[in-house]
Amino acid sequence: MKARAQHYLGLALGKLRKGAEACAALLDAREFYRLAGDPAGRAQATDTLGSLYAAEGRLDRAATLYALSLVEKLSHGDRYGMALSLGNLGRAQLRAGRPREALECFEQSRRIAVGEGLGDERGRLRLLEDEARARLELGDPAEARSAEALLHEVVDGARRAGYRDLEFFAWKDLALAALAARRWDDAAKALEAARSARPLGGEEYHELLLLHVQALLELGRGDDVALERLAQVARGFRRAALPDLEISVRAALARALRERERCSEAAAVLEEAIGLARGDGFERLRVRLVELFTELELHRGMPEEQGRLVVAGKKTSALGYDLLQPVGKGAFGEVWKAFDPERLQVVALKRLKLAQLYEEEERARLVDSAKLELAATRSLFHPGIARVHAVGRDDEGELYIVQDFVPGLPLAALLETREPAEPGLALPILVDIARALDAIHGAATRVIHRDLKPANVILVQRERLRPVLVDFGLACLPDDPARMERLLRAGTPHYAAPEQLSGKHLNEAVDLYALGVIAYEWLAGCLPFEWPERESLESFCDRVQRERPIPLAKRRPDLDPELCAVIDRLLSKVARNRGRSAADVADALERWARS
C-alpha cells in the first residue's frame, strides 16, 4: 500500500508540474516496491519516472529510465510491459531527433504486442501513429507514403472506437505530411478534420498544434501573417515547457524570416533555438540547427558563455571545452588549442588575465563590451581573418575569447632569421594582411586589432602562402594607459604606434603602423627601432615618439624608392599621414607585388 500510495502521489505531483517533489515520491515508490518484492510495480514506477523526465524535456534521462524499466520487465517476463516501455523509449528518441532509432523501437514494440496477442486496440493504434510520425521524420518520399497509409488506418480505427484524441493526432500528422509534399489543399482538408476531431475540453496544447499547422500552411501559400502566428506558437510551447516542439517552430520561423531577407531576426530566432537545444537529449537537434545557420547563410551573433570553462581544464558539462594543448602565453593571457563540442570543431581559446588590471565589476562590463566589439568580426567570412565565435567568463570570472584555430606557421618564425626578404615573397603576403585589416576596419565592423605583430599572423599554405590574422584578444579591451604600459613591459612594444605609447585615443591607423613595422622588419632584416636590453622602456618609447627610423631605401637600396616611401609613410608619427585606409595601402603595395 505504501508503494502504491507514493506512486499515485508522484503521478499527481507530476500533473501539477511539481517536478522535484514528484521525482522524490516516485523514487520512494521504486524503493518500497523493491522492499515489498513487487518487480512489476517497481518497473511501472520506473516508467512513470521516465515519463516525468520526458515531460520536462530531459530526454536522455527519460530514455535511460525506459531502458531500465525494459530490463526490469524482461527479468520477470512481462512481455506486454516490455512493449509499452519500447513505445515510451521510441517516443523519447523521436522527440530527441532520432527517428531511425525511434522507428526500431516502435516496430519491435508492435512485433511483441501483435505477435503474442497482447494489448488492446487503442495501444495498437497509438503505436501505428508513432511509427508513422517516425517515418515522416526520416524525410524520405517512400517512407512518407508509408506513413500516410498508416495514419489513414489510425483515423479509421480511431473513428470506429471513438478515440477522438488519436484521430486528432493522426489528422494533424496527415496535414504535416501534405505540407511536406507541398499539397496545400490536402493539408487544409486534413487541418479542418483535425479541428473537428479535437478532444472535447482539450488543452491549450491541442490548440497550439493546430496553430502550428495553420501557420505552416499560410507560409506555404505565401501569407506573411504566418510569421506572427509561428512566434505565438513558439511562446506557447515555451509556456508549456515543450522545448523540442519550440525548437521545431523556431527553425521554421527562421527559414521564413530568411526568405524575406530579415536576416538579423532569423539569426536571433535560431540562436534561441540553439540555446534550447543545449538541454538534455537534444544533441542531434542542436547539430541540425548549427548546420541550418550555414544553410541559410546567416551569421551567428556573439553569445556570452558561462559554465563552459574552468581554469583547471576540467569539463563542467557535456558542452564544456576540452583544452587539448597550450599554444601560446602572453602578457595578459594564454591561448589553448581546444575542442568545442557545441560547434563540433577545434578552436583557439584565449583566456585573458584581467584581474590584475580591472576590478570584478569592471571585468563584468568588459564581457558586454567584448560582445559588441567582436560580434562584428563574426559576420566576416574573410580568408585572412580567424573568426571569433564567442566570448565568455570562466569559473574565476576571467574573460575568454573563442576563435578559429588556424594551423600554420607564425610569421614570427620567418622573421627570426633576421634576413632581408625577397619582395616576391613578402609583398603578396603584406598585401593580404592589408586586405584583411580593411575588412575588420570596414563600416560594418569598425574593429581595431590593436595587437598586430608577426606572432599574430599565421601563414597557411593554399595556392601560395596566405596570412590569417588571429588573436583579437585586445580588440575588445578599452584603451587604457595602465594596461598598455603593462603590455609594453611584457615585451611587445616594437609594433605599437606612437599614440599607443603615449596613451592617446586610438583609431585604425595604429594597425597601419604595425603593418609598416612588419613590412620594414621583413624587408630590411631589422626593426625600425631596436630595443637593447640595457635601455629602459621609457627611453625606448621616447625614441619611437621623437626619432625617425632609418629610411628603408638606405637599408635596401635594391628596392624601388617608391615602394620604400610607401612603407616609410606607414611609420609616420602622425596617424593621418599613414594612409587613408588599409585598402589604399593594399592597392599601393599590390603594384610591386605583381611585378
Active centre residues (catalytic): 451
106, 86 in Cβ contact below 8 A?
Answer: yes
Q: Which of 376, 394, 378 is nearest to 386 (CA)?
A: 378
Own/partner contacts of 30-37, CB < 8 Å, gap of 24 or more, are: 32/2, 32/3, 32/6, 33/3, 33/7, 35/3, 36/2, 36/3
b/e string for 4-18 if b means 16 or more Cβ within 10 A? bebbebbbebbeeee
Q: Which residues contact 461 (CB under 8 A, 6 or more apart)?
A: 408
Residues 571, 516: contact at Cβ < 8 Å?
yes
Beta-bridge mates of residue 402: 349, 390
Determine the residue type at 219.
L
Nearest Cα neighbor of 358 from 369, 350, 347, 348 is: 369
Helices (H), 162-282: 164-180, 184-197, 204-220, 225-239, 243-259, 263-276
Residues of 393-412 as b/e, b for ≥16 C-beta within 10 angstroms? Answer: bbeeebbbbbbbbbebebbe
In sequence order, the 6+-apart residues with CB closer than 8 A to the CB of 528 are 516, 517, 520, 521, 549, 550, 571
Q: Of 353, 348, 415, whose CA–CA distance to 385 is shortest?
A: 348
Classify residue 333 by its DSSP letter: E
> Is the torsion defined by CA of 467, 468, 471, 474 positive or negative?
positive
CB-based burial of residue 117 (10 Å sphere; 0-12 exposed, 13-18 middle, 19+ buried)?
Answer: exposed
Distance CA 544, CA 588 (A): 25
Rounded CA separation 245/212 (Å): 10
Angle at 112 between CA 111 and CA 116, to 5 degrees: 110
Q: What CA–CA distances, in Å, run from 104 to 35, 130, 280, 469, 495?
A: 34, 11, 22, 49, 63
C-alpha grid cell, residue 73: 520487465
Output the 3-class SS for 472-514.
CCCCCCCCCHHHHHHHHHCCCCCCCCHHHHCCCCCCCHHHHHH
Amino acid at 189: K
Closest to 382 measured CA to CA, from 358, 406, 366, 401:
406
Residue 151's nearest CA partner among 196, 205, 116, 193 is 193
User: Cα separation of 520 and 256, whole Å?
Assistant: 52
List the one residue out of 443, 381, 383, 399 whose CA is nearest residue 582. 443
Task: Give the strand order in the sheet containing 388-393.
Answer: 304-306, 388-393, 399-404, 345-352, 333-340, 322-329
